[in-house]
Structure 1
Amino acid sequence: MIVRNLKDARNSSRRVVAQNWESTRLLLKNDGMGFSFHITTIYAGTLTEMCYQNHLESVYCISGHGMVETLDDAKQYPITPGTIYILDRHDKHVLRADTEMELACVFNPPLNGREVHDAVGAYPLEAETVE
């Protein structure tokens, strides 16, 4: 059994901070579950373009408000507490945070731990591993 505490993880190398967001990676590739699980905070007033070419992602909104737009068809979806969106086709998308948003994110294949977005908004398949 694996047991971790979010507060403890936020005070460790499992917390990754980028310009528009920070993410605490509670479950990673080296845990052997076949997916990773993160609690991510998107900073208010930010716009983040992403396209996870190497991963599929599910995102559940815990708190905050924003909008996700799929860029191929320009469809926009409001994101509020209780909303889940699933990027099942490596969707190129933009996430806008009207307020600070706390999100629960699942990635398949799992992340190693220290990933940040590259120039096209993707995570690499391999990155520095967090213990």
Structure 2
Amino acid sequence: MIVRTLKDCENSERSVTAENGNWKSVRMLLKDDNMGFSFHITTIYAGTETLIHYQNHLESVYCMEGDGEIETLADGKVYPIEAGTLYILDKHDKHLLRGGSKDMKMACVFNPPLSGKEVHDENGVYPVDTE
């Protein structure tokens, strides 16, 4: 059994902040935990915009608090996000994630799992972990 607290993970190397300061991701469950997925609590800061294109991962995101929006770049559709919203990037959707008037706190699941140190490259992609 694995038991971790958000507080403990926030005060460890499991807490990763974007170089541009748009988000912070606390990676509570990672590849080396051997569960086949990773689980993160991510904060998207109010008033930010982040290009994301997970070419190597599928992701499900549940908004626990705050507000913002997601725009899918293939078709220009904009979807509002608020507490209780789930969005699923099931087609490696290239998108813009925008923080609204309040920070968004999100619960995120990645498949395949992240190893822990990933940050988006210039195209919004996380590299595939080959280890």
TM-score normalized by the length of structure 1: 0.95
Q: Which residue of 2 aligns with 1:116?
A: 119
Q: Which residue of 1 aligns with 2:5?
A: 5
Q: Which residue of 1 aligns with 2:56?
A: 54
How far 1:119 moved relative to its partner?
A: 1.1
| Alignment map for 1:82-121 (pairs within 5 Å) | 82-98=84-100, 99-121=102-124
Instruction: Name which of 21, 32, 35 aligns with 2:34.
Output: 32
Identity of aligned residues (%): 66
| CA distance in 2: counterparts of 1:119 and 1:102, whole angstroms | 24
How far 1:27 moved relative to its partner?
A: 0.3
SS of residue matched to 1:37: strand
Q: Which residue of 2 aligns with 1:72?
A: 74
Aligned amino acid, residue 7 of structure 1: K
| CA distance in 2: counterparts of 1:38 and 1:108, whole angstroms | 12
Instruction: Name which of 35, 41, 45 aligns with 2:47.
Output: 45
How far 1:125 moved relative to its partner?
A: 1.0
| CA distance in 1: counterparts of 2:123 and 2:111, whole angstroms | 18
| CA distance in 2: counterparts of 1:125 and 1:2, whole angstroms | 25
Runs of 4+ in 1 over 6 A off after TM superposition: none
Gaps of 5+ in 2: none
| CA distance in 2: counterparts of 1:85 and 1:28, whole angstroms | 21
| CA-to-aligned-CA distance 1:54-111 (integer Å, 9 cap, x gap) | 0000000000000001000011110000000000000000011012000000000000
Aligned amino acid, residue 6 of structure 2: L
Aligned amino acid, residue 73 of structure 1: D
Tell me the matched-pair count.
Answer: 128
| CA distance in 2: counterparts of 1:103 and 1:78, whole angstroms | 14
Aligned amino acid, residue 15 of structure 2: R
| CA distance in 1: counterparts of 2:23 and 2:78, whole angstroms | 21
SS of residue matched to 2:117: coil
Aligned amino acid, residue 17 of structure 1: T
